[in-house]
């Protein structure tokens, strides 16, 4: 699964040919969550509140890029890297 971003110990990945809805996977230590891009909702897994807030902040800043990356990944292409949260 390609890593598309990394910040503050959080790793963001996106699968190629993954299922709907458009989403990404966030990992922090032993925790993992699948996050819907359009409404920024965790629909599988969990993250600690602080990590979840950072992931949501990052995703709000990069929502258009995430949707474009999803389109590429959905067609079997590798999604591009996205700038980390600073």
Domain boundaries, the chain: 3-74
The secondary structure of the chain in percent helix, strand, coil, rounded to multiples of 5, reads 30, 30, 40
Each residue's pLDDT tens digit, 66-77: 999 999 999 999
**Confidence class for position 18, pLDDT limits 50, 70, 90:** confident
Sorting pLDDT into bands at 50, 70 and 90, what band is 1?
Answer: low
- Residue 4: closest CA among 60, 59, 53, 43: 59
Non-local (6+) Cβ contacts of 75 within 8 A are: none
Could you list the beta-strand ranges (E) of the chain.
3-7, 10-13, 23-28, 31-36, 41-46
């Amino acid at each position: 699964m390609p890593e598309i971003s990394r910040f503050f110990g959080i790793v963001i990945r996106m699968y190629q040919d993954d299922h709907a809805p458009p989403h990404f996977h966030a990992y922090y230590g032993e925790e993992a969550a699948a996050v819907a891009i359009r409404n920024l909702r965790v629909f599988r897994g969990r993250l600690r509140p602080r990590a979840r807030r950072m992931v949501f902040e990052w995703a709000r800043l990069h929502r258009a890029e995430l949707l474009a990356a999803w389109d590429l990944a959905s067609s079997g292409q590798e999604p591009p890297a996205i700038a980390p949260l600073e």
